[in-house]
Amino acid sequence: MSVTTATPGEAPAGLDLSDYLRVVRTYWKAITAFTLLATLAAFGWTVLQPKIYSSDSSGIVVTPGSDNVSLALAGDSLAKAKVKNYESVAKSRLVADRVIAALELKTSADALLGTITVKVPLDTAEIRVTAQSPDPATAQRVADAWVNGLAAQVEAIETAPPAETAVGPGTAATPDAGATAAVPASAVRVLPLGKAVLPTSPVSPNVKLTLALGALVGLALGVAYALVRRHLDRRLRNAAEIERLFAVPVIGTLPVDHRLNERSTVLDAGTAAEVHDAGGAMAEALRELRTNLSFLDVDQPPRIIVVTSSVQAEGKSTVTANLAVTMAAAGENVVVVDGDLRRPTLVDVFNLVPGVGVTDVLTGTAELADVLQPWGALPNLSVLGSGRIPPNPSELLGSKAMKNMLNALAENAIVLIDAPPLLPVTDAAVLSRAADGAIVVIRTGRTTQEQLAQSLGNLDKVKGRILGAVLNYVPTRGTDAYSYYGTYTSAPGPSPEAVPELAGTRRRARA
């Protein structure tokens, strides 16, 4: 059977929306932790930063009014032209020195200029000054003093006598009377527009904005961490991923059952009726696995099935034992063979007599009928132990005698072989050649893509038939949880007293 597997180290296929949602659901705790930590860090940063208060004050450039429309328009144009020059004046050290002298501040002009912002709104004659300081009262005083200092500096500039420009020996040029007659330069000045308001709340640091940015950065870091973990985490977690990467059907998913935490055991080991009517998620999952096995090949259903895994502790022995019990409860004749001649466990799982089994039959020291042990709860279920541990397990399992023994057992029963893991030893691959197919047990969240790929490759090399995979230890909560409709039961029928015909039949029966 050809198996399509993912090459180890190969980049995963592009993620779609469902993949991103799955990543978020899987790593939501880490994403939340990153977001909270970044938000707390941003809050801590804001606490450590000094509080800065801001106060605004404005001034306006004015010219003398006139009843003449042309002179009024000329004055407005002059004011808008002058305000652009005064913006530079407002940012100068001359104004800063005036403010320092007026308020008796102990700072330099350059330092004070760093706390001042000057803006001129578009197409207006207004100048807006914004002063910032750790002290709200200082910010208010500096804003007002700055506008007053600007007004004084503008007045000094406008009232200064114009410099004479020589045009020839003994003569001096005089100003153009036509250019200054319309609006006298000395009449242009800056008037403060009210007082600055005392600030009540700081403008820096912006706590809300900082927390929002911190949360956004933390969320981005959390999602990035989740995507990296998803890329580096090669463990198999759901059936769809296995089928997509390896083109192997998942014929069963078995949920976590805490009764199996201590050791491998048969879960429902009561009477035959109790086993058949066993409830719970695990019992229902085993019945589903039994049904899926019967539909694998309707024309030639497999009679000899090897149950193996990639590495140890994936639950293959438990799956083998409980699947055998489930099949026997449905009326099938089942023989369980312990094919693990290195670390046999099935005799302990079924609580039977150890010491004799496969190796005794293969070496001719015992007859098959003498070493088969029926299981008390289900007479149609027999167990063949491993026998004494031989020095050459692979040679015995691959021998013709082993194949003949399995064929003899398969004449009257379905044979389930509990085989060793595929990666440590070659026993399971050797057994698959004598069987009708192999089932590979995968432990959710532990078996990696590389391990499964190598295991399937080992089976493919010996031309072993892969019947499918069984996903074991599927969690019952969280992402990719096992779904069990335990409350879906038959509707109660009508009581005999509610139906006259049934009530009459009961009375006649009692008579």
CATH number of the domain residue 442 falls in:
3.40.50.300
pLDDT for res 356: 85
Q: What is the mean pLDDT of residues 50-69?
A: 79
Judgement on whether residues 291 and 339 belong to the same structural domain of the protein:
yes
Cα separation, 398 vs 432, whole angstroms: 9
Q: What is the mean pLDDT of residues 16-37?
A: 87
Q: What is the mean pLDDT of residues 7-17?
A: 51
Between 301 and 167, residue with greater pLDDT: 301
Judgement on whether residues 211 and 116 belong to the same structural domain of the protein:
no
Classify residue 4: in a domain, yes or no: no
Q: Say if residue 183's pLDDT is above 80.
A: no
Classify residue 444: in a domain, yes or no: yes
Cα separation, 148 vs 191, whole angstroms: 8
Q: Say if residue 180's pLDDT is above 50.
A: no
Residue 498 banded pLDDT, cuts 50, 70, 90: very low
DSSP H or E stretch at residue 29: helix 28-48
Cα separation, 397 vs 402, whole angstroms: 6
Residue 65 banded pLDDT, cuts 50, 70, 90: low
Domain of residue 283: give its range. 239-474
Judgement on whether residues 253 and 376 belong to the same structural domain of the protein:
yes
pLDDT for res 86: 87
Judgement on whether residues 146 and 36 belong to the same structural domain of the protein:
no
Between 214 and 487, residue with greater pLDDT: 214
Judgement on whether residues 155 and 116 belong to the same structural domain of the protein:
yes
Q: Say if residue 143's pLDDT is above 90.
A: yes
Q: Say if residue 263's pLDDT is above 70.
A: no
* Alpha carbons within 13 A on the beta-carbon side of 32: 5
Between 113 and 268, residue with greater pLDDT: 113
Cα separation, 414 vs 395, whole angstroms: 24
Residue 500 is which amino acid? P
pTM of the predicted model, to two decimals? 0.63
> Which tokens go with 194?
């009210």
Between 256 and 16, residue with greater pLDDT: 256
Q: Are 339 and 306 a contacting pair, CB within 8 Å?
A: yes
Judgement on whether residues 211 and 327 belong to the same structural domain of the protein:
no
In the chain, the number of structural domains is 3
pLDDT for res 300: 85
Helices first, then strands: H and E counts in the chain: 20, 14
Sequence-distant (≥ 6) Cβ neighbours of residue 448 within 8 angstroms: 234, 235, 236
Judgement on whether residues 219 and 282 belong to the same structural domain of the protein:
no
Sequence-distant (≥ 6) Cβ neighbours of residue 131 within 8 angstroms: 54, 55, 56, 57, 115, 116, 139, 140, 142, 143, 146, 196
Judgement on whether residues 150 and 41 belong to the same structural domain of the protein:
no
Judgement on whether residues 360 and 465 belong to the same structural domain of the protein:
yes
Q: Say if residue 123's pLDDT is above 50.
A: yes
Q: Say if residue 460's pLDDT is above 70.
A: yes
Classify residue 497: in a domain, yes or no: no
pLDDT for res 115: 92
Rounded CA Rg of the chain:
45
Q: What is the mean pLDDT of residues 291-308?
A: 90
Judgement on whether residues 143 and 283 belong to the same structural domain of the protein:
no
Judgement on whether residues 283 and 428 belong to the same structural domain of the protein:
yes
Q: What is the mean pLDDT of residues 367-380?
A: 88
* Nearest to 438, CA basis, from 305, 322, 326: 305
**Cis upstream peptide for 205 (omega within 30°):** yes
Classify residue 211: in a domain, yes or no: yes
Cα separation, 146 vs 154, whole angstroms: 12
Over pLDDT 90: what percentage of the chain? 48
Q: What is the mean pLDDT of residues 190-196?
A: 89
Q: What is the mean pLDDT of residues 416-444?
A: 93
Q: Say if residue 359's pLDDT is above 70.
A: yes
Q: Say if residue 40's pLDDT is above 80.
A: yes
Distances (CA, A) of 33 to 108, 210, 286, 506: 47, 18, 39, 67
Classify residue 493: in a domain, yes or no: no
Q: Say if residue 168's pLDDT is above 80.
A: no
Classify residue 7: in a domain, yes or no: no
Classify residue 216: in a domain, yes or no: yes
Cα separation, 237 vs 244, whole angstroms: 12
Judgement on whether residues 225 and 320 belong to the same structural domain of the protein:
no
Classify residue 503: in a domain, yes or no: no
pLDDT for res 2: 45
